[in-house]
Amino acid sequence: MTDWDSFENTLRVIELGAEKKLHRGIQIYVSHNGETLLDTAWGDQGDADTLSSEHVMLWLSSGKPLTAVALGVLKDRGLIRWDDSLSQFIPEWAMFSQPEATLSQLLTHTAGFENRDLGWPENQWESIVSEVMQRPLPSDWPVGEKAGYVVAASWFLLGEVICRLTLQDFPTTLRQLVLDPLGMKNSFCGLSQDEMSLVEPKLGRMFGRTPHGLEDLNWNQGGRVMNPAPGGNCRGPIRELGKFYESLLPNSATNLLSNETANQLTTRQRVGMYDQTFRHKIDWGYGFIVNSNCYGGDSVPYGFGRYSGESTFGHGGSQSSIGFADPEHGVVVAWVANGRVGEPRHHERNLAINDAIYLDLGLAAKNVG
């Protein structure tokens, strides 16, 4: 659906962003009370290639919640509990004299993993998992007592837990547990060479801001597409991420999870803790950010906008995307811009787009104060 007439504020913010060279194009999806109101794309990918709503876009960390929901499916099957220790599923963790860490601590970013280069996408899954297990956790970070957002390391271990329980590789098991049941037929986290040949013509580009303008990062080639990374390499048309969030709203007909598990994932499990990575207090569910406007609506990183409801949950993707659901107002939003422009510029863009959506929905006044 393409009806910019009802989203004039949103369109203007997107156009202004392009004028500031923040992006060349954006895919966007918005629904309200189950009705799709916006499902479209704006702009281009360079070389006169118009960006369409069918392009397969890189979600980066906006895709992290898919792994969390896959774990939720396994929890509902009785295969895991949130307070299970990592070593119950990966015995090597204890063999390397690592401290006990629970699945819940990994999902709330309180287990003490460092952000470091893991050699992805050149390094393969097995070698990355092995390297993460063997690298000692910081001695000055008692597990569970401090918080710091982890980009990749702990997410490979969460993915490995899923693989060991299902006896399948990560791309296959994510499809079976989450993507296929939700009809996300064009989304994936890792591909075979044959699948890559079919998807390649539909891959969206990602640009990075340089002193010379937006330049193609060439992130739609080879291992950057084919090698799975649960923390940052899910891709698909943004409408499918929107459908994912619709499935998590209360009383959704497509919810994969029990009400108890869905509630545990998407409500506050980590509260009031200062995040050492983001340098800001942020509340967290299991794999989802929960609305943290109470700590500064204008300053909270990857927030959902100043007008979002208190129970809003979701996740952003590095300098480029976001997906979230607002149960209080029945709103689902997902969008991805094809320009990574640095954290300060993206923060401004993220806040402006999300606020504009609520203004266009006529919900802004209802959420002020």
Average pLDDT estimate for 312-324:
98
pTM of the predicted structure, to 2 decimals: 0.96
What is the model's pLDDT at position 46? Answer: 84
pLDDT digits (tens, 9 = 90+) for 14-68: 999 999 999 999 999 999 999 999 999 999 998 778 999 999 999 999 999 999 9
pLDDT digits (tens, 9 = 90+) for 177-211: 999 999 999 999 999 999 999 999 999 999 999 99
Estimate the crossing angle of helix 64-76 against helix 259-266, to 10 degrees: 150
95: pLDDT strictly greater than 90: no
Q: What is the DSSP string of 97-120?
A: TPPP-BHHHHHTT-S--------T
Give Cβ neighbours of residue 18 (< 8 Å, ≥ 6 apart). 24, 25, 43
pLDDT the model gives residue 2: 56
| Mean pLDDT within 231-242 | 98
Per-residue b or e along 1-26, where b marks 16 or more CB atoms closer than 10 Å to that residue's CB: eeeeeebebbbebbeebbeeebbbbb
Q: Average pLDDT of the chain? A: 95
What is the reported pLDDT for 48?
74
> What local confidence, expressed as pLDDT, does residue 139 receive?
83
* Burial class of residue 91, CB neighbours in 10 A (0-12, 13-18, 19+): exposed
Residue 101 has pLDDT above 90, yes or no: yes
Side chain identity, residue 258: S
Residues constituting the chain:
369
Q: What is the pLDDT of residue 368?
A: 45
Q: What was the pLDDT predicted at 47?
A: 78
Question: Is residue 135 pLDDT above 80, yes or no?
Answer: yes
Q: What pLDDT, on a 0 to 100 scale, did the predictor assign at position 369?
A: 38
pLDDT of residue 142: 86
Asked whether residue 146 carries a pLDDT value surpassing 70, the answer given is yes
Q: Is the pLDDT of residue 360 over 50?
A: yes
Give me the percent of the chain exceeding a pLDDT of 70: 98
* Domain chopping of the chain, boundaries: 4-68+172-367
pLDDT tens across 237-275, in order?
Answer: 999 999 999 999 998 989 999 999 999 999 999 999 999
pLDDT of residue 365: 67
Q: Is the pLDDT of residue 156 over 50?
A: yes
Homologous superfamily of 4-68+172-367 in CATH? DD-peptidase/beta-lactamase superfamily (3.40.710.10)
Strands 339-340 and 207-210: parallel
